[in-house]
Structure 1
């Protein structure tokens, strides 16, 4: 049986999730990294969770860019701490990206006034990503509503 130990990377591009996770295999008592990619668009909940990271990008970089959007983060060991890199962009359109930022913070070493909020926001992003990875969360398009009117006449709506 395999268990996800840690999410190493989360990336949202073209409204789709790509993640790298560290998995522990109980049968072999070994860990390995694997990638996950979702071909369906992500839910609004995940978009909002990632938007919480915009605050931290601005605080870590010490600057404010209108329209800045966090598109992912990466965690990696760094000595006695963990290096967190949050990637953010300000896209003019699909082909133009005038602002591209990588905000870095050593968790466990650097002083950061909003560390509790950052850890909560990262946890929310990781929980949302896990719903896609472990439970196959998808944009809810499987259900349709059928209206009983089969004639060509318009439906009467309540005023």
Structure 2
């Protein structure tokens, strides 16, 4: 199973409010990994971060909707082959987590691998790994360190180290 975290204009488009060069560097790898998941008939789950109401006090609705949109490089792949779960703030909320559990409990067996890719390593990737790890504690959680990114490289590396101490396998697939 592949879980793709927040591949939205926000981080991947140069006009996005949280654009980071490190996200741009992993873009092709993420697209290829999604394609491989589709070719191998893996389940693909993706998150879409929706901004909370108070954001509308600070910037325009058009800017928010732009940031919330899935980046065009990934849009068609995910809309056709993925299962979208929306969230506000960092992690998938309880009702969405329950839906994931119900939809995938038969697929996720002991030692089944769930791979995470996307952005931001130290925020949404971390938070969503914790959510999924709690609903599927028997699964092997993995993060491909070449397919996650953060705007702060120090926090990116520290988060990978923390995750490795939380029974998450950090892989180095290119």
Query: Which TM class, normalised by the smaller chain length?
Result: under 0.3
Greater strand proportion: 1
Which of the two has greater helix per residue? 2
When the two structures are superposed, what TM-score results if normalisation uses the length of structure 1? 0.24
Larger RCO (alpha carbons 8 Å, 6+ apart): 2
TM-score by length of 2: 0.22
